[in-house]
Amino acid sequence: MDLDTTRKRPRESGVAVDRLSALPDCLLHVIMSFMKARQVVQTCMLSKRWEHLWCTVPCLDVDHREFQSTGEAAQGDNEVWQNFEDFADNLMLHHQIAHLDTFQLHVNDVYRWGQHASRWIRRSIKYNTKVPGIPRPGLSCSSWSLKRLHLSNICLDDLFAKHISSMCCSLEDLNLKGCRFAFNEITSHSLKSLVIDSCDSKLCPSKLVVTAPAIASLCLIVKLWFFPGGLFVNEMPFLSKASILVSATYDGKNFQHNQSKFLGSLCNVTTLELSGFQTMHYIFQIIPEEPVELPEFKNLKILSLDKCDLSDNFQLLKHFLQNSPNLEKLTLRLCELPKDSKKRKGKAKAKKTRLVDIRCENLKLTEIIYDADDVLQLVGLLLNDSANLPKNNIKLSKVDR
């Protein structure tokens, strides 16, 4: 074979091709949206192409933890905060906030830094809303408005609540974790997802009222002693998924008084998780002179009761089984059950507990997670009415607390 006729490979040019920078701004913004804010700003050092790109990124995740260091280079809390504060001040000053789609802010301690950080929230909302007759830098008719707001350990004043109610008309996702409230009510007609996780209140007395008729997903993790005035949710006709975890002490009486009405506001859900709910017997004791109307859950398919009090002969459970015709899966996790009747040996046998007018004939699986032998009464309750639960399978799992 003639070697001269063999094909020669083209020589490498030796010049690196920056294909990433060749992407359009919209794709680069998508990539940057997965990064923390400090990393986003640092991209300005890559090349001339990236110098100002961070100023219009639609998602900002500003995180106090990014400025912490470990080992010999570890700094004190005050020095870490000063570095973070300088960074956040400059970021909010130079970024075109009017283009924000998502804003996330996390500080490490609500009691030390939460009040200082609240000013960034006010600025982000101020320059993110369209007010007729008032021009905003970088804001046009086609500019994006804030859709997602996630805050951790921030002090939020009454002005924040008013902005959410009247000015954030595009806000769909609000997540508040470990924040301190100086207001009693959250109102929004645009919200579709709301999470309030372990927040407390500066007010005394305080309560928490949620008015958001467009909500589809709701998660409330609330310590009731921070809201002794009660927890109230107005009707949510589009709600499909709800997770409600309450921790109650003697300060939770106002919530227990309102528990039936609270459940009524959740009646449209398809998936419901309740944790820490008290007995229905407790409600009747509080308001014996008032008729208590319990809601019907026509759309409910998945129900989870976690650490709820069922010691009043399973009244809360009975209500769901009698008023949830489309229920398909039931999970009972570490609930407080009636005491077993084993101590009654030699005495007359206790009457069997039965379900009356049971309606959830589509129930396919009941999962019972327990830590005591008292579960036998619960199993008996379900087996006694097995004819009305023809598709139901019972799964038992014992755990150690």
Q: Which range of residues forms the domain containing residue 111? A: 23-69+76-127
Q: What is the pTM of this model?
A: 0.83
Q: Does 50 map to a domain?
A: yes
pLDDT digits (tens, 9 = 90+) for 25-49: 899 999 999 999 999 999 999 888 8
At residue 181, the pLDDT reads 93
Residue 281 lies in a domain: no
Residue 91 included in any domain:
yes
For residue range 191-217, list pLDDT tens digits in order: 999 999 999 988 776 888 999 999 999
Q: In the prediction, which pLDDT does 342 show?
A: 46
In a domain, 222, yes or no: no
In a domain, 286, yes or no: no
Residue 99 lies in a domain: yes
pLDDT tens-digit readout, 238-264: 999 999 998 865 454 556 667 777 888
Instruction: Tell me the Ramachandran region of residue 249: left when phi exceeds 0, alpha when psi lies from -120 to 50, beta otherwise.
Output: beta
**How many angstroms separate the Cα of 392 from the Cα of each of 296, 310, 366, 367, 395?**
21, 20, 7, 10, 10
Is 48 part of any domain? yes
For strands 155-156 and 180-181, give the pairing: parallel
- Given this model, what pLDDT does residue 259 score? 75
In this prediction, residue 357 carries a pLDDT of 65
Q: Is residue 46 part of a domain?
A: yes
Residue 280: per-residue pLDDT: 66
What pLDDT is recorded for position 401? 63
For the chain, the three-class secondary structure string (H helix, E strand, C coil) is CCHHHCCCCCCCCCCCCCCCCCCCHHHHHHHHCCCCHHHHHHHHHCCHHHCCHHHHCCEEEEEHHHHCCCHHHCCCHHHHHHHHHHHHHHHHHHCCHHHCCEEEEECCCCCCCHHHHHHHHHHHHHCCCCECCECCCCCCCCCCCCCEEEEECCEECHHHHHHHHHCCCCCCEEEEECCEECCCEEECCCCCEEEEECCEECCCCCCEEEECCCCCEEEEEEEHHHCCCCEEECCCCCCCEEEEEEECCHHHHHHHHCHHHHHHCCCCCCEEEEECCCCHHHHHHHCCCCCCCCCCCCCCCEEEEECCECCCCCHHHHHHHHHCCCCCEEEEECCECCCCHHHHCCCCCCCCCCCCCCCCCCCCEEEEEECCCCHHHHHHHHHHCHHHCCCCEEEEEECCC
Count up the domains in the chain and report the number: 1
**Low-confidence stretches of the chain (pLDDT beneath 50):** 1, 3, 5-6, 11, 131-132, 134, 137-144, 250, 252, 286-287, 341-351
